[in-house]
């Protein structure tokens, strides 16, 4: 982030055939928040953890807005629990090795650390060893999959050798290794053969704990594109309560599921300069039932000529960021309502947040309601826990402190992060060119 991401038959005419074993109508993937898998130590203070996570979140946002358009993958802190990403549980190879992969709507390549490794960071669980997988195959340098990479490379044998990949991130983190195919196993004993993936031999930087990345962007080699011939070019997820230790409330599903009547759909926009990202046409905000004014609508709009601006829905970014004038108008409208409700605003800033309050015994649910508005009349009414976030600054009565959980974006790109998506079923329907939001989606 600068400052919360598509295998069978023909993947785009470029990619080879992948096969599913008696594929069901949908492909279900268990999903877990980082803290549910790797809970912070009991001695960890909420305030310090929050500051660490926000620092990592800033690095993620920075990678999304990089002007080169190359950095569409997440960057995570080097210490566990410093960011708010979600993991998908996937089996890799034959026999299967379980891998916890970060779900990333902002990148395409599926990759994981591989043994033997010239340089690997510390991950939780077993590192995948391709030598023990009977279904692992290197991808030739002359293959369509290799040509689909942004920065393809070749072994010393030239075009007749194996293909190599390289991905780099905004803070200098990177992964380099062999491009290959192998079998991925999902829930209910469903598996898919010949999935194109990266086998990372040199992985440096701040990816701690995860085995790798599950890229579900819109590109040619993302997992969502690879499974599209069998399941359709549509997937959805629900990201459960980040503060819960439950491992059963989140999910990721490829394929079309029964549509909830509460789903609000808005048009999915495309940016030729940033083709992996999921853009939406955001029309503004309401606070306390009144539309927020005082900012230019162009602040949230995508400029198709330059590729700048716009609003993306991102699973790897935690905190939502909006163009500075839009954020300021939202903050000021919220502040006026909070003041009228008797909430005392704290002096100064808390980390990146500049609107924090002492509730003085009032419940957090009394926060002024916020609604995000999208083109076509789609609304996303946020529950208070998705935007009025608890803080702990080491002060007395810190348990009563809450901050407005948004930030200003100075780099043009606005992002709807996973904290604000929490609890919603989010449908990425590329086939029908739309994105949908359904409240209380994790229990549906």
Torsion of CA 11, 16, 21, 25, to 10 degrees: 10
H-type helices in 341-443, by residue range? 418-421
Please provide residue 137's backbone torsions phi and psi, each rounded to the nearest 5 degrees.
-140, 135
CB atoms within 10 A of CB 361: 8
Cα-only R_g, the chain:
21
- Secondary structure class of 421 (helix, strand, coil): helix
Q: Which residues are within 8 A (CB) of 258 and not within 5 positions of it... i.e. 6 or more apart?
A: none
User: What SS3 class is residue 279?
Assistant: strand
DSSP state letter for 393: -
What SS3 state is found at 404? strand
Pairing verdict, β 264-269 and 111-113: unpaired
> For residue 226, what is the DSSP state?
H
- Assign 3-class secondary structure to 323-361: EHHHHHHHHHHHHHHHHHCCCEECCCCECCECCEEECCC
DSSP, residue by residue, 291-326: E--SS-GGGG-EETTTTEE-EEE-SS--SEEEEHHH
Phi/psi of residue 183, nearest 5 degrees: -90, 135
Q: Give how far the C-alpha of residue 295 lies from the chain's centroid of Cα atoms, to the nearest Å.
A: 27
Distance CA 100, CA 91 (A): 9
What does the block give as tokens for 22? 């008696």
Active site residues: 104, 314
Sign of CA dihedral 312, 313, 318, 320: positive
């Amino acid at each position: 982030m600068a400052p919360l991401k598509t295998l069978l038959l023909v993947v785009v005419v470029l990619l080879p055939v992948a096969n599913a074993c008696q594929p069901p109508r949908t492909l279900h993937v268990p999903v877990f928040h980082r803290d549910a898998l790797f809970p912070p130590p009991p001695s960890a203070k909420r305030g310090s953890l929050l500051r660490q996570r926000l620092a990592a979140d800033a690095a993620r946002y920075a990678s999304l807005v990089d002007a080169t358009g190359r950095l569409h993958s997440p960057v995570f802190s080097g210490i566990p629990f410093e960011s708010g990403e979600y993991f998908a549980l996937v089996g890799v190879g034959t026999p299967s090795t379980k891998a916890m992969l970060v779900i990333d709507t902002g990148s395409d390549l599926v990759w994981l650390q591989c043994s033997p490794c010239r340089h690997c960071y510390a991950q939780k669980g077993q590192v995948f060893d391709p030598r023990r997988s009977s279904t692992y195959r290197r991808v030739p340098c002359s293959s369509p999959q290799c040509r689909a990479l942004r920065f393809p490379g070749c072994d010393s044998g030239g075009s007749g050798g194996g293909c190599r990949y390289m991905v780099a991130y905004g803070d200098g983190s990177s992964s380099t290794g062999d491009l290959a195919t192998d079998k991925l196993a999902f829930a209910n004993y469903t598996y898919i053969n010949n999935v194109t993936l990266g086998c990372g031999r040199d992985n440096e930087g701040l990816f701690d704990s995860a085995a790798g990345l599950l890229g579900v962007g819109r590109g040619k080699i993302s997992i969502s594109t690879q499974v599209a011939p069998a399941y359709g070019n549509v997937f959805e997820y629900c990201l459960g309560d980040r503060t819960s230790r439950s491992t059963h409330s989140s999910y990721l599903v490829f394929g079309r599921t029964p549509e909830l009547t509460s789903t609000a759909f808005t048009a999915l926009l495309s940016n030729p300069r940033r083709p992996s990202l999921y853009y939406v046409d955001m029309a503004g905000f309401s606070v306390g039932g009144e539309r927020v004014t005082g900012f230019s609508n162009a602040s949230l709009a995508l400029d198709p000529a330059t590729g700048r601006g716009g609003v993306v829905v991102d699973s790897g970014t935690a905190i939502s960021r909006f163009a500075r004038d839009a954020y300021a108008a939202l903050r000021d409208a919220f502040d006026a309502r909070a003041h009228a409700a008797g909430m005392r605003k704290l002096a100064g800033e808390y980390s990146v947040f500049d609107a924090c309050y002492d509730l003085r015994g009032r419940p957090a649910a009394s926060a002024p309601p916020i609604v995000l508005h999208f083109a076509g009349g789609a609304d996303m009414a946020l529950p208070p826990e998705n935007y009025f976030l608890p803080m702990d600054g080491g002060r007395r009565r810190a348990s009563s402190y809450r901050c407005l959980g948004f930030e200003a974006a100075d780099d043009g790109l606005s992002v709807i992060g996973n904290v604000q998506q929490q609890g919603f079923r989010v449908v990425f329907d590329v086939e029908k060119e739309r994105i949908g939001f359904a409240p209380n989606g994790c229990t549906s």
